[in-house]
Amino acid sequence: MSPDSVTLREAATPALVLDRRKLKGNCEGMTTRSHALGVRLRPHMKTLKSTEVARYAIDPLHGGIAVATLNEAEYFAQEGITDIQYAVCISPDKLPRAARVLGRAPQFSFFIDSLETAKHAMEFARANNAPFRIWLEMDCGEHRTGVDPEDPMMLDLARLLSQSPLNFQGIATHAGHSYRASGPEELRAVAHAERLGAVSAAQRLRAAGIEVRGVSVGSTPTAVNLISGEGLTEIRAGVYMAGDLFQVSLRSLSLDDVAVTVLATVISDNRSHGQIVIDAGGLALSKDRSTAVGPGPDRDYGLVLDVFGRPFSPELTVADVHQEHGEIRVHTRRQFDLLPIGTKVRIVPNHVCMTAAMYDSYLVTEGTEQIVDTWRRTNGWQ
């Protein structure tokens, strides 16, 4: 899609900017790392939700993706992707919709962690000739969803899922608690425990005579810190494609690797209060303050860059947000002079998944302020 504006300085704001060169580098880096571990990569598209992005992210040795909503599954299925993993425990009311996705994407699969839902899936599959592909989700320490690997129900559930007309794929888990790690040493420990838990669960099922084809784990922090891929078939990760300030604080990537920023315009200044106001507030940036509890420095609601993507010295952050206003605390007279009303700035988001959710497209650049394309993305649940 051709952009309406030629450069970022001409673009309407707020807008979401995606640096294609950095995106490409991040995707190639994670694919290479996965292969070095002897594991295939299943990129999770929940962050960037774009077909154009998926083309860079998909591992040619795998071909599949993960998603977080059925809306995403439908969108990518319509775009011709056939291996789509809905990496969420499905509810029984969504089974008819899942069957429609399966009709377009024959390798579509989803998670289950309860006997009740498994029985509903079996009944629906039998009545509607829908051979669902199903992963048993195991809890490896986050305690959100998933079966405790020590719970005898895990074996019962696996036996039920392995029965016709269902197509049991294997064990999946997600170490979401990796985002609470205090540093690299703890991240490596979480990554090791995630892998070991999933592999051990798969071994117990195999010992009971249940075929386990896949062992799927992942998050960006654990994927970056995983030392061995032994026993795994795939890694799921997603935020690495875009990056954000929290991933920088976790050392999953560097600030220079962050591919997504929010373009905003200075709309007011108040030198007596040491304040500049931009037209990007809580809706445009999100109110996520992940770095406030992370191992790195607190970056408030986002790090301020100039329109070329360069940080100011000393660094500026969006210190406070209202619905449509962001407040930047300015430290020097020179910074006021550099940021008169009408100036375009770019904000590195704290948590890119939350930030990107408000936008329906990306202004695509390649290391400059020149806009080379506009890419659409899907949003919502329906």
Question: Which pLDDT tens digit goes with each residue over 319-337?
Answer: 999 999 999 999 889 999 9
Give the Cα-Cα-Cα angle 2, 23, 244 (nearest 5 degrees).
Answer: 115
Render 67-79 in DSSP notation, one character per residue.
Answer: ESSHHHHHHHHHT
pLDDT attached to residue 276: 98
CA atoms within 13 A on the CB side of 234: 27
* pLDDT band, residue 76 (cuts 50/70/90): very high
Superfamily of domain 8-15+253-376: D-serine dehydratase-like domain (2.40.37.20)
Query: Is the pLDDT at 1 greater than 80, yes or no?
Result: no
* pLDDT band, residue 294 (cuts 50/70/90): confident
> CA 55 to CA 58: how far, in whole Å?
6
Q: What is the mean pLDDT of residues 16-25?
A: 98
pLDDT attached to residue 201: 97
DSSP type of residue 91? P
Token pair recorded at residue 26: 């991040």
The full set of domain ranges for the chain reads: 8-15+253-376, 37-241
* pLDDT band, residue 163 (cuts 50/70/90): confident
Beta-strand relationship, 214-217 and 167-172:
parallel
Q: Strands (DSSP E) along the chain, which ranges?
A: 15-19, 40-43, 65-67, 84-89, 109-112, 133-137, 167-172, 214-217, 234-237, 260-270, 275-278, 303-306, 311-321, 326-329, 344-348, 361-365, 373-376
Least confident stretch, 144-158, 174-188, 210-224, 275-289: 174-188
Topology of the domain comprising 37-241: TIM Barrel (3.20.20)
Query: Is the pLDDT at 2 greater than 70, yes or no?
Result: no
pLDDT attached to residue 296: 82
Choose among 89, 92, 42: nearest CA to 238.
42
In the chain, the amino acid numbered 201 is: A
Write out pLDDT tens, residues 137-152. 999 999 999 999 999 9
pLDDT attached to residue 220: 96
Q: What is the mean pLDDT of residues 303-327?
A: 96
Query: Is the pLDDT at 189 greater than 80, yes or no?
Result: yes
pLDDT attached to residue 53: 98
